[in-house]
A and B are shown apart, each in its own frame.
Chain A
């Protein structure tokens, strides 16, 4: 079945540091890939997405590139801010089969950014 593996956290950075959160996946088809962010006490917000190989999703300074050859979708940001402190989830949505429609999530990575 489908699965998503994220780099284990928590990740603690100083403001303006470079961020990478690794994400790799296993899927039977050609999935769409997503990063969602969850701020304390809130639901999930879509951060960015990519629907096919070599697509780059970007939003609010965050970027991730869909790498089919390495089955990865690593999240990066060049300079983090305190306000980026949250839990980040990598997810995939399969294109068909019995997993069609649903999102499969990684376990989440807690990011804390200190001033």
Chain B
């Protein structure tokens, strides 16, 4: 059974640009979670989508947004990129337990 997949693996942007990160959940999972792992800050919850709806949101500004598609895949969009947005962005899918993808490493220059 395929695990959670994320694309791209690496992304380099400059300040002020927009980034789009993608996640495909494990087959049969309807929930997708996004987390940010910034250096020295640990893992922070960003967003939770289930059945196409945003269910919960972490303490991040509105320029972090996303959506979930009918096939349960998800996009995370980060607008007006700032240097401190450089991090590993992890997606997880869940039926009960959350299973994580390999992450997208975003570097903002």
Contact = CB atoms under 8 A, between A and B. Distances in A.
B31 A101 contact: yes
B102 A108 contact: no
Interface in A90-113: 91, 93, 98-108
Interface in A37-91: 42-46, 49, 89, 91
Contacts of A101: 31, 33, 48, 50, 55-56
A59 to B, nearest CB: 12
Interface residues of A, number: 22
A25 interface: no
Contact of A46 (B55, B99, B102): B99
A102 B97 contact: no
A98 B56 CA distance: 8
B72 interface: no
A108 B97 CA distance: 19
B36 to A, nearest CB: 11
A93 B103 CA distance: 21
Contact of B103 (A43, A49, A100): A43
Given A101-B31, A101-B48, A49 B42 contact: no
Q: Chain B interface: which size bin?
A: 20 to 34
Contacts of B102: 42-43
Contacts of B31: 101
Which of A45, A103, A107 has most chain B Cβ within 10 Å?
A: A103
A43 B100 contact: yes
Contacts of A89: 43
A102 B103 contact: no
B48 A107 contact: no
Interface of A: 34, 36, 42-46, 49, 89, 91, 93, 98-108
Given A100-B56, A102-B45, 13 more contacts: A43-B90, A43-B102, A43-B103, A44-B43, A44-B90, A46-B99, A46-B100, A99-B56, A101-B48, A101-B50, A103-B33, A103-B43, A106-B42
